[in-house]
Amino acid sequence: MAANAKRQASQGRGEVIDITALRPMKNNARKHNDYNVNLIQESVKELGPARSGVIDENGQILAGHGTLEALKKAGIKKIRVIDGNKDEWIVVRRNGLTEKEKERLSLYDNRTAEFATWDGDILSVIANRNRELLAGLWSEEEIERIASGWAPIDEKETDPENYRDSFILRIEGVESKHRDKLVSQINELMKKEGYEYECEAF
């Protein structure tokens, strides 16, 4: 009994492989910009890897493309692979986190997901090839628009009010005596282009 439990525990530890053995899905329709990847990287450096990914039997990434990019940038060389199936949920247990770290990890996990966007060209190809793949993820009307080249946008992105309080422009390497003038010039340009946002120097 004890030997069997020990063997099951050992099997649960999975297989350790080199991170370079993984490859992205060719037609991944989710795009991860530099800010998105860098934010995930910062979370990895601060709290260690947290979000798991999904791969197929050939090492192709099915879920976790942004995380993979960030892990490579953070210098992670090895990953642990655990075999699973559709009847079980594999959960990573993190021990030793402080209450602050637990909250930070949860906030990082949700915040980083907000900065990924859709690749309209790839989605259009998928919709025209086999629109059943999009069924249940978008409405029939949206799928028709996607097939015509429309890129779906998160609901919050269509309402400028949702961005009014969250727009951040980070300026580095500028002396404080020049900063206010630069911010003023940026605001003038944004107003000229029709944006309602306003930058503040702090």
Give the Cα separation of 65 and 82 in Å (integer): 18
CB proximity list for 111: less than 8 A, separation 6 or greater: 39
Quick one: pLDDT at residue 2? Answer: 42
Domain identity same for 94 and 176 = no
Q: Which helix (H) or strand (E) holds 37?
A: helix 34-47
Nearest to 59 by CA among 24, 103, 84, 111: 24
pLDDT for 48-99, tens place per residue? 888 889 999 999 999 999 999 999 999 999 999 999 888 988 888 899 999 9
Quick one: pLDDT at residue 7? Answer: 37
SS3 content of the chain, % helix, strand, coil (to 5): 50, 10, 40
Residue position matching structure tokens 């039997």: 57
Encode 127-148: b = buried (16+ Cβ within 10 Å), e = exposed: beeeeeebeeebeeeebebbbe
Based on the structure, what is the number of domains in the chain? 3
Nearest to 149 by CA among 121, 128, 129, 130: 121
Is pLDDT at 19 greater than 90 in this prediction? Answer: yes
Quick one: pLDDT at residue 70? Answer: 93
174 band by pLDDT with thresholds 50, 70 and 90: low
Give the domain extent around 166.
Answer: 159-192
Beta bridge partners of 85: none
Q: Are strands 61-63 and 30-32 parallel, antiparallel or unpaired?
A: unpaired
pTM for the model: 0.64
Q: Do the domain assignments include residue 172?
A: yes
Domain identity same for 108 and 65 = yes
Domain identity same for 102 and 20 = yes
Joined tokens for residue 111? 């915040």
Burial group, residue 40, by CB count within 10 angstroms (0-12, 13-18, 19+): buried
Q: Do the domain assignments include residue 202?
A: no
Domain identity same for 67 and 29 = yes
Q: Do the domain assignments include residue 199?
A: no
CATH number of the domain residue 30 falls in:
3.90.1530
Q: Do the domain assignments include residue 197?
A: no
Domain identity same for 39 and 123 = no
* Alpha helix ranges (H) inside 114-194: 120-130, 140-147, 161-164, 176-192
The one-letter amino acid code at 149 reads G
Neighbours of 29 (CB within 10 A): 21
Domain identity same for 15 and 106 = yes
